[in-house]
Structure 1
């Protein structure tokens, strides 16, 4: 292979191209002509061919961009990243940093764990722009739907306890959801219904096949009915009993088990866990999952002493080209209804412990939450081919390379999944609406965590070709995944 050909100007390196758009690196590029561009591209190539020799430029560019990075061996507190890892990880950190410099993101915390060690933690930008509070490793994030896997594990613990089964009718504990009606046409009139063909079961909740919806995952009168009856679950003052009663007054959008539809099903699951356990859902999580896992910063509210660590959610206002804070208040005390589908706050290190437990077949540091066979059930696809042919939230082909199990998605075809990210067959996880994402990969023995606080439409606008537009924030997260996986090679 001729190196001169490998670094020709026609070669496209998205990470470097993004980095060169940042003000600091852009000014350097102008000052030194094309030298920094050429050196960065050279380092990308030579860093792969000769990892022990070509580190300087990538590290230099990373320092210019202002990244705060490090790698730790957890038991000794010392660096473990190889020189090759350092090149690749530094390369990856340029990707979210470019968006921060462009004013599209406020900040980010990323973490890479592999083969028993934390290989990298990168801290970028600010958690609150107005106060100029820098992002820190222990910053608290609204992890949104990353709450769902935690709630799903709690439910599976009750299955192992013998208190639930996947085919248990949930109306036994949630009578508010008995004798439900189903819309004859999913987007049709609310009064045009038929009886449900069977009872809702626990598995329906775990797999989003219960017939519930989110406002953004459906169309027709049912959307307004949900909004009027349930409001915003992140800010509701309703009790679980009141919320379930309101939900039970609404028709299902489809027959139980018929299709996958992203929904409030996991919030219902959290209510179910509380009823079955005979305590509040939050108390069950604290006692059986969060405390045993050492997840000290994960909860449904942010206490006063931790409020300064909370990252603000921002929305990029294209009309003014700036970030605007999104007015979503964090509860100052545990809410009456702790939403198991999206109400949790957490940190990179806390969520790492949860992900490691699942990657390690249900056990971490001598604390076993689930048996290996239960974790295997969660990590196995349960959707039919027909259910996977339906677009997910306006993203065509989303399920072509993925499946969905009991609260977790997993990669089933690497090539088909490539348009949506990176990973090996069997890699599993589930993201959050505010830009949070994680994935555990058994083949690589690796965990990737990517935390930002960005508000954008959950359903992307359609493009002229019928595909879904990919926002710069989502595109950067996907490219970060690819860069991290490239560093493993």
Structure 2
């Protein structure tokens, strides 16, 4: 293999990524398959598809495979809402109840179990910035941590048959918050509420808004909430991690909820491909535009990439005990839709201050490093994302191959 550098990367050292994934994950049966893409200075550096997209049918992973990206939907929703911010539709310190009147009297959990909660008043109203930065006091049912998230599970608020953004917002109006807004950090359905606000402020369904204002301008032809029938053959199967480093089928692509019109979850409902998400990530890396299409202003994006936690705190100092994140806590803060690296040494993962990105429940991940003008998109389909440390290992190998 040639040792000529590709945008400052040594191709021989990059090949360690494919070897590592094959030897440590595919051959032992830990992962079904994956696609890894690295770009720098706007140019593709490396992209490799490995393993199978559908183990049961022995179908190979391909570069155009479609993946459930789950929480990698959140940055898309956050950009959509901030597009409307740029149009003067709201202010970040606006109380959420200005737009959702039923939320005027939200309260904070003190004791009890659903539906008999003892609550106390919020110290201040929830703002739109609280939603974007996960400081709202909302939660997720899958947390399995408190009596509040037990109520989310009972009401199936994380999604499922019959769920709509309108029903979510209505049900949440009657449930207590985990904490007073702005006083802690907790991963939550807040970005689904952001999706509701996009619909409310734009007057368009979320899927239509995404298609018109993000996907079409960026040429993202393989991103949607439900996979079109003609594209189902490219849709990957999704798997569940099992004890003993194996996996079982979790969602068959031929009978998947993602193949039918359903819940427009701004927090986790999109399907996409590695190249489509590269276009979205490259737009971010370029300061908000791609191929002459301006999606968001550079100052707005710069504002979103700041740490919005109080006193420049990192996640460990503000996150609720036992709460979940799609990024390692140490050395990371949170902006408006992304995690933000604050301290490289504390993070114990190579990178740069100011790096930002997020991941998804099925172990997908992306990040943008403005200091090095590079990005990575990693696609696979294994739930949960905490099954293996592959995302941190990929960073070590990626930066190990960057020599100029």
TM-score (norm 1): 0.76
Q: 1:52 and 1:349, CA in 2 relative to 1: closer, same or farther beyond 3 A?
A: closer
User: Secondary structure of the equivalent of 1:288?
Assistant: helix
Q: CA deviation at 1:217?
A: 3.5
Aligned residue in 1 for 2:374 = 446
Structure-to-structure mapping, 1:237-252, within 5 angstroms: 237-252=162-177
Q: 1:190 and 1:485, CA in 2 relative to 1: closer, same or farther beyond 3 A?
A: farther
Q: CA deviation at 1:422?
A: 2.9
Question: 1: CA distance between counterparts of 2:27 and 2:400?
Answer: 24
Question: 1: CA distance between counterparts of 2:340 and 2:155?
Answer: 33
Structure-to-structure mapping, 1:70-469, within 5 angstroms: 81=6, 85-98=10-23, 99-184=25-110, 190-217=116-143, 219-233=145-159, 235-318=160-243, 322-327=246-251, 329-335=256-262, 337-384=263-310, 385=313, 388-389=316-317, 390=319, 393=323, 398-418=328-348, 421-456=349-384
Instruction: Give unmatched runs, 5+ long, in structure 1.
Output: 1-46, 54-79, 461-470
Larger radius of gyration: 1
Question: 2: CA distance between counterparts of 1:246 and 1:452?
Answer: 33
Q: CA deviation at 1:315?
A: 2.1
Q: 1:178 and 1:218, CA in 2 relative to 1: closer, same or farther beyond 3 A?
A: farther
Q: 1:195 and 1:84, CA in 2 relative to 1: closer, same or farther beyond 3 A?
A: closer
Question: 2: CA distance between counterparts of 1:304 and 1:351?
Answer: 21
RMSD: 2.4
Instruction: Give unmatched runs, 5+ long, in structure 2.
Output: none
Higher relative contact order (CA 8 A, sep 6+): 2
Question: 2: CA distance between counterparts of 1:82 and 1:373?
Answer: 27
Please identify which structure carries the higher helix content: 1
Question: 1: CA distance between counterparts of 2:258 and 2:394?
Answer: 32
Q: 1:185 and 1:203, CA in 2 relative to 1: closer, same or farther beyond 3 A?
A: farther
Question: 2: CA distance between counterparts of 1:453 and 1:155?
Answer: 28
Query: What do the CA deviations read for 1:100-135 (whole angstroms, capped 9, x no partner)?
Result: 110110000000101221011110000001111100
Please identify which structure carries the higher strand content: 2
TM-score (norm 2): 0.91
